[in-house]
Amino acid sequence: MLYKNIKKIYHDIFKSYAHPELDTHIKKIMELDVYLPYSSTFFCITNTQNLTFEFVSKNMTACLGLDKEVLILEGMRNFWSRIHPEDIELWLKGLNDLMEFTLAEIPINQRYRMSYTWNYRLKNEQNNYVNIIQNTTPLEFDSAMKPIIGLAHYTVIDINVSMPITVCAKLLNEKNEYETKYFNNYSQKLLTDGLSNRERDVIRLLTINKTSKEIADLLNISPNTVDTHRRNILKKLNISSTGELIGMLKINTTFL
């Protein structure tokens, strides 16, 4: 797909009219980057209106070997050029579906509490493709409450880990727990496609050692309902225990 075609589709998805500026909170996030340890993750502040990176953390170079000054100078065009050609159309389709879902299903006063996750393959400085899991939280919106500035965290995973292209939208509830509101798999169909959004939330909390009672409290459901979800999850995934489930997640995290 040609860059100009990507740019048009991307603009259509994020089309907006306002020109917000980064507030003090965002600038403080930039300052904190100096103190963060090097790891397999990095973050950027993205501007989908101007197709630019307002900020790129130092870990980006450690993770991908790329020059962050070049990325800031050339913006998203540079980043797009490194996405695997087979993933571009699926990635754009996923972004469009997430935007349509948000505008149609998420009330304006809740959009500040949304978080979006998707993945794709990206070429690093050594010209090797790696898996990228991107999680973006909106920070600023245009006059129509369409997200245009976001805090994006990127996790780099070895290419040998097989990852279908998926997208996910989560809402931070009043208990400060993310609830899955939308999930779609754009690659081959997996057994895990049969999981409900609520079951995905239960799985995620089980893997961080939450009890049924704690999960019930976080998701505003009863412990009996949690136990029912647990039984259904094991049956759908054809596994016998939560321990086996956690082992499975170490290999494939895309259905969360």
Task: Give pLDDT, residue 35.
Answer: 66
Stated pTM of the model: 0.77
CATH number (3.40.50.2000, 3.40.50.970, 3.30.450.20, 3.10.129.10) of 3-188 reads 3.30.450.20
Percent of the chain with pLDDT over 90: 46
CB 230 within 8 A of CB 212: yes
Query: Binning pLDDT at 50, 70 and 90, where does residue 210 land?
Result: confident
Q: How far apart are CA 238 and CA 220, in angstroms?
A: 27
Partnered with residue 171 across adjacent β-strands are 114, 179
What is the per-residue pLDDT for 24?
Answer: 64
Instruction: Note the pLDDT of residue 92.
Output: 92
The three-state DSSP-derived secondary structure of 22-85 is CCHHHHHHHHHHHHCCCCCEEEEEEECCCCEEEEECCHHHHHHCCCHHHHHHHCHHHHHCCECC
Note whether 205 and 218 are within 8 A (CB): yes
pLDDT > 80? residue 122? yes
Classify residue 188 by its DSSP letter.
Answer: S
Contact 156, 30 (CB under 8 A): no
Asked if the model's pLDDT at residue 20 lies above 70, the reply is no
Extract the runs of DSSP E, i.e. beta strands, from the chain. Answer: 41-47, 52-56, 114-123, 129-141, 147-157, 166-172, 178-185
Residue 21's pLDDT band, with cuts at 50, 70 and 90, is low
Q: Which two tokens stand for residue 49?
A: 């209106």
Stretch(es) of the chain classified as CATH 3.30.450.20: 3-188
pLDDT in tens, 55-107: 999 899 999 999 999 999 999 989 999 999 999 989 999 999 999 999 999 99
- Average pLDDT, stretch 112-128? 94
Q: Give the separation between CA 46 and CA 34, rounded to whole angstroms.
A: 19
pLDDT at 120 over 90: yes
Over residues 198-210, mean pLDDT = 84
Residue 233 has pLDDT above 80, yes or no: yes
Every domain of the chain with CATH number 1.10.10.10 lies at 190-256
Which class is 190-256 in CATH?
A: mainly alpha
pLDDT digits (tens, 9 = 90+) for 140-162: 888 878 888 899 999 999 888 88
